[in-house]
Amino acid sequence: MTNEMTAESRETIIRQRLQDSLRAAQEELSQIQQRLQDKGDYGPGTGDPLVVRWELNLARRDRVESRIEDLEHALERLEEGTYGVCESCGKPIDLGRLEALPQTELCIECARNAGEGMAA
């Protein structure tokens, strides 16, 4: 019974942490979207600092949208009972890794291998 309660408590804590992270990311996205509404005056010789800031916000938006998708997927995996299991090799993901990256889908070994494949 204690193990069941511990597992339920852990799942509740994980769910809350993922939902909090998702809300924070959604709020950040909303703020970025508001900043993107101001495109400034981009005539010749004007607006250069604004263009750079606007392009940085575009990159931030893409990064935050990706994080939101990852967090939503993590919540789906939690509901399905597959949260904490590597999507590549099927082994459990280390708890320390899940604490650092609660939305992670890969164990550290598979993440390293995926990183090596991208660098090649």
The per-residue pLDDT for range 71-112, each reduced to its tens digit, is: 999 999 999 999 999 999 999 999 899 888 889 999 999 999
Backbone region of residue 75 per phi and psi (left: phi > 0; alpha: psi in -120 to 50; beta: other values): alpha
pLDDT band for position 4 (50/70/90)?
Answer: low
pLDDT in tens, 21-68: 999 999 999 999 998 887 666 555 555 667 778 889 999 999 999 999
Task: Report the distance separating Cα 22 and Cα 29, nearest Å.
Answer: 10
- The DSSP code sequence of 37-50 is T-----STTS-HHH
Task: Tell me the domain boundaries of the chain.
Answer: 1-83, 84-120
Q: Is the pLDDT of residue 10 over 70?
A: yes
Q: Is the pLDDT of residue 70 over 90?
A: yes
pTM of the shown model = 0.78
Q: Determine the angle formed by the axes of helices 48-80 and 2-36, rounding to 10 degrees.
A: 160
